[in-house]
Amino acid sequence: AFAEYNRDQYIPTKVQNSEYKCLITDANDLDTGRFYDPRTRQTFKFDHLRREPSDYEHYQPDEKSEIWRLALEKELTVYIKERYPYGSCTVIGRSNIDTITLATFIESHKFEPKNFWNGRWRSNWSFTFSKGQHTCELTGLIKVQVHYFEDGNVQLVSSKDITEIIQLQDEIMTAKEIIRIIRQAEDNYQQAVNENYQVMSDSTFKALRRQLPITKAKIDWEKITAYKIGSELKNI
């Protein structure tokens, strides 16, 4: 259960010899209790309970996709620093005889239990192409979960699937185009979530409150003391 949760949530972990964290995902799971970090070219065991890496070993990257992966990783890292103060990212590359597949994973969270709220943003984007191809499909999935628990328990769980057609050029220009699309899509989605919060605050949550007491009569708060005295007199 811990392992499944960590992979699903893209849990970030600090790896040796790197200022960047590696995300724990299904895509970099080696199915042997080990994960690999393509940025530092090393594999590691991962304790899913303690969320700690150990037992590092060298990892040989996929040669065919690596030049494309590196270009995308560079652009994505700049984007994360620009948009996500608490964010981390991992870019995975793989290939077979005819195709190259690249997948990006983004995770950013901030937990404020003292202020009664927690929140996490996750997104992944991937595309597959072959030599000589001029366009391909970029698919993305954005997930947001926010939990507010002061004087109540409110959770927002939201997700969106996105599909875009991208123009394939060289690895550098293709990486820039992909990040442009990701930036625009994630900005639009965040704006939509913000607007939805405002709607919920102005209407949805307000509709949940009882407009009148159960007696269907308004209370005159200036006379509330008299109401209480009258009630007590009836019981004498």
- Taking 70 as the threshold, does the pLDDT of residue 148 lie above it? yes
Percent of the chain clearing pLDDT 90 (strictly above): 69
Write down the residue that tokens 């996105």 correspond to: 162
Residues 185 and 87 occupy one common structural domain: yes
Residue 126 domain-assigned?
Answer: yes
- Taking 80 as the threshold, does the pLDDT of residue 199 lie above it? no
Q: 3-class SS at 114?
A: helix
CATH number of residue 25's parent domain: 3.30.1140.60
Domains contained in the chain, number: 2
Which structural domain range is residue 161 located in? Answer: 73-211
Residues 44 and 95 occupy one common structural domain: no
Model confidence over 3-52: pLDDT tens digits?
999 999 999 999 999 999 999 999 999 988 899 999 999 999 999 999 99
Residues 14 and 123 occupy one common structural domain: no
Residues 86 and 186 occupy one common structural domain: yes
| Interatomic CA distance for residues 54 and 56, integer angstroms | 6
Write down the residue that tokens 């964010």 correspond to: 87
Residues 126 and 199 occupy one common structural domain: yes
Average pLDDT over residues 204-226: 59
For residue 178, which amino acid is it?
A: I
Residues 53 and 82 occupy one common structural domain: no
Residue 231: pLDDT band (50, 70, 90) is low
For residue 151, which amino acid is it?
A: D
CATH number of residue 166's parent domain: 3.90.1150.210
Q: What is the pLDDT of residue 144?
A: 93
- Taking 50 as the threshold, does the pLDDT of residue 236 lie above it? no
Residues 203 and 176 occupy one common structural domain: yes
Residue 127 bridge partners (DSSP): 102
Q: What is the pLDDT of residue 206?
A: 64
- Taking 70 as the threshold, does the pLDDT of residue 225 lie above it? no
Residues 129 and 193 occupy one common structural domain: yes
- Taking 80 as the threshold, does the pLDDT of residue 115 lie above it? yes
Q: Which of 88, 78, 112 is nearest to 21 (CA)?
A: 88
Residues 16 and 109 occupy one common structural domain: no
Please state the pTM of the whole predicted model: 0.83
Residues 160 and 90 occupy one common structural domain: yes
| Interatomic CA distance for residues 6 and 26, integer angstroms | 10
Determine whether 78 is exposed, middle or buried from the number of CB atoms within 10 Å of its CB (0-12, 13-18, 19+).
Answer: exposed
Residue 91 domain-assigned?
Answer: yes
